[in-house]
Every structure is written in structure tokens, then in C-alpha cells.
Structure 1
Amino acid sequence: MKPCADVAIVILNWNGANFLRRFLPGVIDHADGARVIVADNASTDDSVELLARDFPLVELLLLDRNFGFCEGYNQALAQVDSDFVVLLNSDVEVTLGWLRPLRGLLEASPRIAAVQPKILAQADPTYFEYAGAGGGYLDRLAYPFCRGRLFDTLEKDHGQYDDPRPVAWASGACLLVRRSAWQELGGLEPAFFAHMEEIDFCWRLWNAGHEVWYHGSSAVYHVGGGTLPKSNPRKTYLNFRNGLALLYKNAAPGELFGAMLQRLLLDGVAGLRFLASGQGGNFMAVLRAHFSFYKKLSYWRNKRRAARPHLLVKDRPGVYAGSLVWAYFAQGKKKFSQLGISAVARNAKLPV
């Protein structure tokens, strides 16, 4: 397989000098001919000085303010002309040969627009990592989960998810995307700021006739939680607000009303659970998330029209037709294999 000279690895950085010191040398060593670019989101630490001093061969894009994850990447990729682009978190440790299987998959089929590798926990690589694991899935109410991760329960990696297959979404921690598809869809949704933006992007890819895949022959290690810890009310707010917007923007017309109604009820239950456990900040974050969504409903309605959603649950790969909340909390199903998701998708083969 030829070197990846038509690939640009783009790391969006904000005050991540420690991660750059730790992981950027490995990215450079294992770039396999790809360009390595750091787009700096107006960092206030010594990131820019570090890059100029210690990594002079890395291309540097300076953004004039912190645009957040979504618009930061939109601004950066508008300045990159490579055919394929990797969105790579600064807290990801890559491995020898990680890039070629991903690049080869997109080369093998023009239908495939995005692909992620296996994502393992950097602190303990025997376990899958929360943000992507063995490929992203959704239930019928758009609650995200992964092969190898249901809610906060992580599985050990025994090679059980090494097969390549189409998935509902691929992780933004390490995402190789065809730049023409990125441009066609206008990149990431800027109003998301951060969290679930890659799920929205991948859902829009499917609605536009593209495919999203996972390739288990490539592996990277992710620190995770580098920007906001999972218990942070700001992250709770973004997850609940963006979860509502994700479902509203992309669900098929015949399924939208019922799914939104059930999602609102379950979000209410989650808020009450936060309150009962003394997490008042997270309870208020759920309320603020809903008020924010309703306040911008006209904006989301316009985005829905632009996305032209039409694929039903049964027609979208990587979708669990049941309720993940019910399966996990009521039925005690803690592993992906216990959900009984169609073996047809699980045995998907590489395109030829």
C-alpha cells in the first residue's frame, strides 16, 4: 500500500502543551508520509512556543480565538487542501502502522467517507476507551454507545471487535474523513461547540448517501476527559442539549415525534436522578440544556431542513432498534454482545 502523502493529520489544540510534548513525537514518527498540522485555538499556555522550538517541521495554523472543537476544525480544515484529513485529539497516542488500514479502506470504496480505528484506554490499553471504543452505535432514541462501551461500562479488548464494519458514527478523537464529503456537508455543526458533533456529522453523512466505518486492524490509545471531566455540569449541559439537537436534526420524519417525546421523558428522569444523588449542578445543567434547545428551535428547524433526514432506524447501520436505557438499567445488559444486534452488520467485510 502506498504511503499516505495525500493525508493531513490535523490536531486541534487548546492549552494542550503537555499532551503535545507527550504524544506529538509519536504522531510524527508514525505519520507514514502524511502531513502533520497543529491548529491552535488561541492557546494561552506555551503551546505555540513549544511547537516553534521543538517541532519546526510540524505545520502550524494559528486561529485568532478559541472557536471550540467544532468551529475550530471548520476553520482549520478550510485551510487544508489534502484529499483525506485525520481529526486527531492531542491526547491520542498513535501506534506503528495505524494510518494505512484507515487510508486503505477509503481508497477501496468511494462510498466510504469516514472511518475510525479501534480506540483503547491509554492508561490501561487492555480496555476500550469511552470515546469511540470499537465503533459508534445509536439506539432508536439516539443515545450513543459503542462496541466495547455501554454508558460508563467498558469492556476488555480480547480481539472481539477487530472486524471492519459500517457503524452509525465514528469517534472524533481519531477520525479519517474524505475532505470532499466534509466540504459537501459543511463540516461540523458549530452550534454544538463540543460533544456529539461527530455523531451529528456521521448521521448527516449517512443521510447524504455516504458510509461510515470502523476498522479494528488499526489501534490508537486515548487519554480521554482532557477538556472536561465527565462529572462537569458544562459537559452535562452540552451532552443533553446536543443530544436533543442531534435527534431533532437527523431523525426520519415518521419517527421524529415519538422519539422526541420519549427522549424528553427520559431526560427528565435523568435530571431527577441527578437531583436525588445530590448533583444539583448537573440537575440544573439538564434544565438549561432543554431551555437552550427550545430557545433555538427555529435554528435547529432550519438545520433539519438542510440535512433532509429520511433514513429510518431499520435502514441505518449501527442502530439498535430497542432502548439502551431500558436494556442497561432495567435488564442489566452491560456488554454490546448482550444487545443481540444483527449479526449481518457484525460480519460486514471489507469492500473489494
Structure 2
Amino acid sequence: MAEGKRIVTTPLISLITINYKQAQVTCDMLESTKALTYPRFEVIVVDNASKDDLAERLQQGNYPNVKLVVSPENLGFSGGNNLGIQHAKGDYYFLLNNDTIVTPNLLEQLLIPFSQHPEVGVVCPKIRFHDQPNIIQYAGYHPLNSFTGRTWAIGLMEPDQGQHDKPGPTWFAHGAAMLVSRDVLKRAGSLDDSFFLYYEELDWSARIRRAGFQIYYQPDALIYHRESMSVGKANAMKVYYHTRNRLWFMRRNVTGFSLLVFYLYYFCLALPKALIQYMLPWQPAYLKAVKDAIIWNLTHTTKPPTSVSMPVAIAGN
């Protein structure tokens, strides 16, 4: 397999995962990696200032190829993965959520598109829900709706009957599992730390595609995902970062008329709807999260993207 000028017959894969106060969940994922059949991979666990018993669990669990990197502060998803990349030695970086379970031939399958299509920079597996193992969470992404700032996963909540088993390019990577080549970081950079949590993989995907790479969906690779274990199904922090980063993502990646329409849609429809939803049951913490997210965007500036606006998909909101 060629990568730049170097021939790598069996490339080293650096599997990077983040732990935040979920030592047992992280160890469950690491246990599943023991069944991986790929012969050359390292595992880097970044602990985001958890102060839990992860180190002791790693010693007791017999994980000889695991390197623990402890951050003195919580760097979020973006910063945690970037810290892991700094410690990685691999030819490819496999960013994997700690709340996932892998399947044995996962890494071999993820590597295949890189050898078949030189323009591929990122490969993502099919993702099913851990608690509903035949229900799809991700089989690629639809294009961004530039008017609403929304996209949605192909196959979401569908029973897996093979209807999404065709591999091919897709619009966005899924943050739960993405195999990334070294060349991507050289040309597109790494995850942007400003996102901290949510939308960071969408922003990175947009930059990766602007750099000339394809993002590829590989259905023959499979993982199972315990969704939203790190921050819960709904809380103020999730509301804050979803609100803040939806605006931040659009400001960084959409321009012109599409961005104007988005502002009109968001501030005249989407935001009032959210405020009403939080006011009726009286959730002041959520209302404060929305206010803080708007203020953050008013006090942070970003340079416009160098490329044209993304294609519009009218369906969905």
C-alpha cells in the first residue's frame, strides 16, 4: 500500500480513544479490541482529567499495547483526540469512541478503501446501536442542508437488512469511529479545538473534503455504539454545545446567501421553538445554556472558508 513515497505493506494503526469518568466503559471497549485480528495496531487512551481508577483498571486488565495519556484538564472531544494524535506513531489514526464495541475484522475492512481509491482520506464503518444491535445508527451521511444547518445519518433507526451495504463516498465522517490517514493531517489539519464537543467531526469533514479528499463509508466494517454515554441523553451542557457549535459550524463553513437564509431560519424559527420547549416545563439551566451559546458566538470571530458553500439538500430540518 502506497502512502506518499513510502511503501507500507502492513501499516501501523493508532487507535485513539478518550476517557472521561467512564473507566468501566472504556475497559469494555478495550476488552473488545482483544479480538481484533489485524496484526499491527497500538491503543492510546487519553484520560480527560477524570481522576477515576482507569490506570489501575488498565494494569489489572492486561492491556500490553495500551498507552495511557493523562491530561490535567478536560480537553473535550477535539482536544483529547488531538492530544492522542500527538502521541501516536501510526500510519493511520483510528479515532474511536470509548463507548463502542468493535468487531474482529474491523481494521482490515477499514483499510481496504485506502488501497483501492487514492483520493480517500477517511473511512468510517457501519454503526449499529449497542442496545439494539440490528438497528442502524450510521451508514453514511446525507449532504448538509445549508439553509437549516442540519444533516442526518443515512439509515438512522432502520433495521439492518442489507439495504445500506454498498460502499462509497459520503459527505461526513461519524465522530464515533473514523480511520484517518496521515496525509489528511498534513493537508487539512486536525480537529479544531474550539468545538470541544459536537459538530467537530462535521467541521473537520468539510475541511477534509475542501483539501481534496474523499470520506468513505465501508459497510463491511462494523461497530456497536452506546450512544450519548459521556454526557447523557439531555442536559444543559449538551444544549449549550449543540447550540453554540451549530452556529459556529455554519459560520465557518457556509457563506453568502445560504448563510443569510440560515440566520433567518435559525433566529426566527429554530431558536424560538427551542426556547418555548425549555420555558414551558421551566428549565432555567437549559435557557441559560442557550443564552451563553449565543453570547459565545457574538464574541468570537472566524475567517470565512476558502471554498464555496456546501451543496444544499432541501429535505430534512
CA contact 1:252–1:309 (8 Å) conserved in 2: no
Matches within 5 A, 1:90-169: 90-129=98-137, 133-137=138-142, 138-140=144-146, 141-149=148-156, 154-169=157-172
Shift of the alpha carbon at 1:239?
Answer: 0.5
1:282 matched to 2:274: no
Find the counterpart in structure 2 of residue 333 from structure 1.
none
Matches within 5 A, 1:1-352: 5-30=11-36, 32-33=38-39, 34-54=41-61, 55-129=63-137, 133-137=138-142, 138-140=144-146, 141-149=148-156, 154-265=157-268, 266-296=270-300, 298=301, 301-302=302-303, 304=304, 307-313=305-311, 321-325=313-317
Shift of the alpha carbon at 1:237?
Answer: 0.9
CA contact 1:247–1:260 (8 Å) conserved in 2: no
SS at match of 1:144: coil
Letter of the 2:26 partner, please give it.
Answer: L
Relative to the length of structure 2, the TM-score reads 0.89
Shift of the alpha carbon at 1:221?
Answer: 0.2
Letter of the 1:42 partner, please give it.
Answer: A
Task: Between 53-62 and 86-95, report the one with greater CA deviation.
Answer: 53-62
Shift of the alpha carbon at 1:311?
Answer: 4.3
Letter of the 1:21 partner, please give it.
Answer: C
CA contact 2:172–2:201 (8 Å) conserved in 1: yes
Task: Between 137-146 and 42-51, report the one with greater CA deviation.
Answer: 137-146
The 2-side partners of 1:254 and 1:210 are apart by 26
Shift of the alpha carbon at 1:264?
Answer: 2.6
Find the counterpart in structure 1 of residue 5 from structure 2.
none
SS at match of 2:152: strand
State how many pairs are aligned.
306
The 2-side partners of 1:40 and 1:285 are apart by 26
SS at match of 1:268: helix
The 2-side partners of 1:242 and 1:221 are apart by 26
SS at match of 2:230: coil
CA contact 1:26–1:93 (8 Å) conserved in 2: yes
SS at match of 1:321: coil
**Cα offsets for 1:126-157 (capped at 9, x unmatched):** 1123xxx11223323221310122xxxx2222
Structure 2 alignment gaps of length 5 or more: 2-7
What is the aligned-residue identity percentage? 27
CA contact 2:27–2:58 (8 Å) conserved in 1: no
CA contact 1:4–1:103 (8 Å) conserved in 2: no
CA contact 2:17–2:96 (8 Å) conserved in 1: yes
CA contact 1:255–1:312 (8 Å) conserved in 2: no
Task: Between 285-294 and 260-269, report the one with greater CA deviation.
Answer: 260-269
Shift of the alpha carbon at 1:189?
Answer: 1.3
**Cα offsets for 1:12-67 (capped at 9, x unmatched):** 22222111332212113215122222222232111112213322332222333321
CA contact 2:164–2:219 (8 Å) conserved in 1: yes
CA contact 1:13–1:41 (8 Å) conserved in 2: yes
CA contact 1:41–1:65 (8 Å) conserved in 2: yes
Task: Between 197-206 and 15-24, report the one with greater CA deviation.
Answer: 15-24
Task: Between 33-42 and 277-286, report the one with greater CA deviation.
Answer: 277-286
CA contact 1:98–1:218 (8 Å) conserved in 2: yes
Q: Check 1:247–1:4 CA distance in 2 against 1; reply closer, same or farther (3 A cut).
A: farther
CA contact 2:187–2:211 (8 Å) conserved in 1: no
CA contact 1:71–1:193 (8 Å) conserved in 2: yes
What RMSD in Å do the two structures reach over aligned CA positions? 2.1
Task: Between 273-282 and 286-295, report the one with greater CA deviation.
Answer: 273-282
Letter of the 1:285 partner, please give it.
Answer: A
CA contact 1:136–1:168 (8 Å) conserved in 2: yes
SS at match of 1:148: coil
Task: Between 254-263 and 202-211, report the one with greater CA deviation.
Answer: 254-263
The 2-side partners of 1:206 and 1:268 are apart by 33
SS at match of 1:161: coil
The 1-side partners of 2:286 and 2:160 are apart by 32
Q: Check 1:276–1:50 CA distance in 2 against 1; reply closer, same or farther (3 A cut).
A: same
Q: Check 1:53–1:238 CA distance in 2 against 1; reply closer, same or farther (3 A cut).
A: same
Relative to the length of structure 1, the TM-score reads 0.81
CA contact 1:99–1:218 (8 Å) conserved in 2: yes
Structure 1 alignment gaps of length 5 or more: 314-319, 326-352
CA contact 1:28–1:36 (8 Å) conserved in 2: no
SS at match of 1:310: coil
The 2-side partners of 1:213 and 1:274 are apart by 38
CA contact 2:127–2:225 (8 Å) conserved in 1: yes
